[in-house]
Amino acid sequence: MNRRVLEEKIFKTLMLASVFIVMGSLVIIIGLVIFNGGSSLTIEMFTQTSSGGYYLGRGGGILNAILGSLFLALPATALACLIGLGIALYLQKEFTHPKVSGFIRLSLDILWGIPSIVYGIFCLMIMVFIGIGTSLLAGIIALTLLEIPIITRYMDESIKMVPIELKEGAYSLGSTKFETAVKVVRRQALPGIIAGVLLGLGRGIGDAASILFTAGFSDRIPESLFDSTAALPTMIYHLYASPYPLVRQRAYAAAFILVVIVLSISIVSRALSKRYTKYVIP
């Protein structure tokens, strides 16, 4: 056999092996989550809060963590969306000089790359400064900061693609820059915007490092913005190595629910993007 053909064969085998490794690790992850989480799921997990000391406590469910996660991630995503949309629209040519917007885009990319633990510890400093303890509010702020760069860059990329003719059409009819941005550009860029928002939501709901110090941990459902709260990721982080199997099961169940949430977000994102693409003028 020719040396070149042999090389081709060798590399093809290596490629198949690599794909096998990648897919295998996914199968292992999903398998572990379903196997451990599925067997720990009971009705009580959804209907009861954890009881009696989070690390050693027995019994109870993870309702406080499920609600805590939603209370943290939904407002954070909404805030990040508002701020992100403003920035993304403002970065376009009509508002900002390309040199300035290039610089802001670079700084957003850097913010995207900053480890979430740095956001966590930064927010902790702010909290100490203004004198609030671990709370829902602080967690929301940390997650908002974490999500802003992701959502903004996604929106920005899809808004950049809006054809200039469409905007000129709106301007020629006498609409202002702001009206064009909000009514024409937003609609045209909607599929990309939705994808970005849901990506940010998925990232926010799954992130533990940024809320570890800011949202804290508690057994109860938070009643005000200033209560500490548990969330699914922090629950997994705190409980996975507990000596009690019953407590560990709470971590597995939390992992299962978290993965289900993240997966449904990605499915919804695909479906919505497809749906709103219908209204986009090609």
Q: Which of residues 115-134 bind another protein (CB under 8 A)?
A: 115-118, 120-122, 125-126
* Euclidean distance between CA atoms 151 and 193, whole angstroms: 8
Provide φ and ψ at 133, rounded to 5°: -90, -165
Q: How many CA atoms lie within 13 A of 171 on its CB side?
A: 8
Collapsing DSSP to helix, strand or coil, 50 comes out as strand
Which of 19-27, 40-48, 52-60, 272-280 is the region at the interface with another protein (rule: CB under 8 A)?
Answer: 19-27
Residue 171 binding another protein, by CB under 8 A? no
Nearer to another protein, 11 or 47 (CB): 11
Residue 206 binding another protein, by CB under 8 A? yes
Residue 23 binding another protein, by CB under 8 A? yes
To the nearest whole angstrom, how small is the minimum distance from the Cβ of residue 35 to another protein?
Answer: 9
Collapsing DSSP to helix, strand or coil, 85 comes out as helix
Residue 245 binding another protein, by CB under 8 A? no
Which of 162-170, 184-192, 202-210, 272-280 is the region at the interface with another protein (rule: CB under 8 A)?
Answer: 202-210
Cα angle, residue 215 at apex, residues 144 and 119 outer, rounded to 5°: 45
Which of 38-46, 57-65, 154-162, 171-179 is the region at the interface with another protein (rule: CB under 8 A)?
Answer: 171-179
Report the candidate in 70, 114, 128 with the shortest Cα–Cα distance to residue 209. Answer: 114
Among 1, 5, 43, 164, binds another protein (CB under 8 A): 5
Residue 246 binding another protein, by CB under 8 A? no
Cα angle, residue 86 at apex, residues 84 and 90 outer, rounded to 5°: 115
* Euclidean distance between CA atoms 255 and 206, whole angstroms: 10
Residue 16 binding another protein, by CB under 8 A? yes
| Interaction pattern, residues 220-239, with another protein; x per rule: CB under 8 A | -------------x--xx--
**Tokens at 203, concatenated:** 């990232």
* Euclidean distance between CA atoms 98 and 104, whole angstroms: 10
Residue 262 binding another protein, by CB under 8 A? yes
To the nearest whole angstrom, how small is the minimum distance from the Cβ of residue 278 to another protein?
Answer: 21
**Please, are residues 247 and 56 in contact by the beta-carbon 8 Å criterion?**
yes
Among 76, 89, 138, 253, binds another protein (CB under 8 A): 89
Among 45, 190, 253, 258, binds another protein (CB under 8 A): 258
